[in-house]
Every structure is written in structure tokens, then in C-alpha cells.
């Protein structure tokens, strides 16, 4: 019942990550990431009931770890992003990346589990993107 929407989100997410990875510039990668976040959020809200099931009620099913799979993909991308764009001598730790990526998907979980409207979720995620953009700029030693 949820497979088509779950597969569609995974495909959309992988396309988004690939576009950001291929940008070659931290500001462009961030812009691609922001666009990808908007597309993912829109897709989730177009299939809201399915993702409510996946994110909130999938224990014991094959989708129990779907959320984890998304976070693992993001972790892999962020490790590459940090290696490519960090201007600091001390690289960001893998644990830092792990927690930040898990937290990023937790934001999506929270808007779904709290039944925010799409408009409310967009406003919330815009604030999160701005917050994260500033934080990553500082952590990576970038001034963009």
C-alpha cells in the first residue's frame, strides 16, 4: 500500500542529493539542497497519509527503518560535502554529521507527526534551512 509513495520519495531524494553533489560550489550545493528539501516536503504532503503511516506507524513492517535509510543517504552525502568544502583544519567528525543528518529527518518527522498544514510546514522548514545554513557556514569556515 505504501510502496509506490515510498519508492517515489526515495527516487526524488536521490535525484536531489545527486544535484547537490554535482554542483561543485558550497553555495550552489546548499541552494540545491534547499530546493530538494522543498520538493521532498511537497511530495510528502501530496502523500501525507502514506508518510504518516511510514514515519509514525511502521514498527514491525518492512518500512520500520525507512527513515534510517534516508538519514544514512544524507550522512554519506554530507561526509563528501564536508571533505570537499571545509576550510578548517579540523574536519567535522562523522558523529557530528550522523547527528545532524538524523536531526534533519527528525524535522520532517515532527511536521508529519504533529499534523502541521503544508503552509505551516513550509514556514517551519524555511526557518530550519536558514538556521542550518548559518551553522554549516560557521562549522565549515565558509563565508557565503
Q: Who's near 38: CB < 8 A, 6+ residues apart? A: 122, 125
Cα–Cα distance between 142 and 39 in angstroms, integer?
Answer: 26
CA dihedral 45, 50, 54, 58 (to 10 degrees): 150
Interval 19-35: pLDDT, tens: 888 877 777 877 888 88
Interval 52-85: pLDDT, tens: 999 999 999 999 999 899 999 999 988 888 888 7
Is 144 within the bounds of a domain?
A: no
As a whole number, the mean pLDDT across the chain is 89
Asked if 30 and 133 count as a contact pair (C-beta separation under 8 A), the reply is yes
Is 44 within the bounds of a domain?
A: yes
* Structural domain count, the chain: 1
Q: For residue 28, count other CB atoms closer than 10 A to its CB.
A: 14
Tell me which residue range forms the domain holding 55: 3-136
Is 143 within the bounds of a domain?
A: no
Is 103 within the bounds of a domain?
A: yes
Taking the model in full, what pTM does it have? 0.86
Amino acid at each position: 500500500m505504501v510502496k509506490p509513495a515510498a519508492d517515489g520519495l526515495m527516487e526524488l531524494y536521490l535525484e536531489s542529493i545527486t544535484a547537490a553533489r554535482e554542483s561543485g560550489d558550497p553555495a550552489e550545493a546548499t541552494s540545491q539542497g534547499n530546493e530538494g528539501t522543498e520538493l521532498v516536503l511537497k511530495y510528502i504532503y501530496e502523500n501525507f497519509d502514506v508518510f504518516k503511516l511510514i514515519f509514525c506507524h511502521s514498527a514491525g513492517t518492512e518500512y520500520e527503518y525507512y527513515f534510517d535509510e534516508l538519514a544514512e543517504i544524507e550522512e554519506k552525502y554530507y561526509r563528501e560535502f564536508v571533505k570537499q568544502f571545509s576550510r578548517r583544519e579540523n574536519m567535522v567528525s562523522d558523529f557530528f554529521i550522523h547527528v545532524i543528518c538524523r536531526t534533519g529527518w527528525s524535522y520532517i518527522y515532527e511536521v508529519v507527526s504533529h499534523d502541521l498544514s503544508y503552509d505551516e510546514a513550509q514556514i517551519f522548514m524555511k526557518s530550519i534551512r536558514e538556521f542550518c545554513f548559518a551553522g554549516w557556514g560557521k562549522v565549515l569556515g565558509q563565508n557565503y
